[in-house]
Amino acid sequence: MIRIITATVFSAFAFVTVAISAPAPNAVVEEAVALLAERLDGRKDELTTDKQALYALIDDILLPRFDREYAAALVLGQHWRTASDEQRQRFIEAFYQAILHRYAEGILEYEQDRVQVLPFRGDASKQRTMVKTLVKLDDGSKAEVNYALVNRNGRWLLFDVTIEGVSYVRNFRAELDSEIRTTSLAKVIERLESEAGIATDG
C-alpha cells in the first residue's frame, strides 16, 4: 500500500505545473497524472536498474515545479529562523535531494488508472489551496491523498502531501526537530547531504 501511495505522491512532486494563466488546481493534478504515465511508458524496466536515470527523470521535471524553499522552511519550523543563510541553502538542497532519493523507487509502481482526482472544492483565489485525490489500493480500498499547493506569481507549486491525514511536512518536521535538538542543525544537514550523495568540502 505504501509503495502505491508513494508512487502517486511522486506523480505530483514531479509533475505539478501550470502556465502563467493558471488553470484550476485540480486540472493541474490531472495533467500531472497523465504526464507521469507518458514519461514512464516503456521505461520501467530500464529505470529499475538505472537509479541515476530514474533520479534524472524526476529531477528534470520536479526541480522547477516544487517550492523547495517554502517546503524546507516549513519542515525546519523554528530552526529556519535561527539558521544562517548558508545553512538554509544547504538544507534546501539536501532535503530536496534526500526525499528524491528516498522515494524515487515508488514511482515505478505508479499506475494512472488507480488515481481519481476529485472535483475542486477550494478557493483558487487564495495563495494556498488543496487538491484531493483517491488512490485505489491492491485490496480494492481507496486511500485519501491530498496535495497542498501554493500560488507563486500565477504558478501553482506543490509543497506538501497528506496521506490518510498524515502530512509529509509535519512528519518530517517532527522527525528533524527531534534530531536537531539531540544533535544540531549542522549535523542534520550533513546527514541529509550524505544520504543524498552530495559532495561537500568539509
The residue extents of the domains of the chain are: 2-196
Decide yes or no: CATH 3.90.550.50 for domain 2-196. no
The angle that helices 85-103 and 185-196 make with each other, rounded to 10 degrees, is 40
pLDDT tens track of the chain, all 202 residues? 555 555 555 555 554 433 334 557 787 777 777 777 788 888 889 989 998 888 887 777 676 678 999 999 999 999 999 999 999 999 999 999 888 887 777 777 777 788 888 988 888 889 999 989 998 888 889 999 998 999 988 888 889 989 889 998 999 999 999 999 999 999 999 999 998 888 676 5
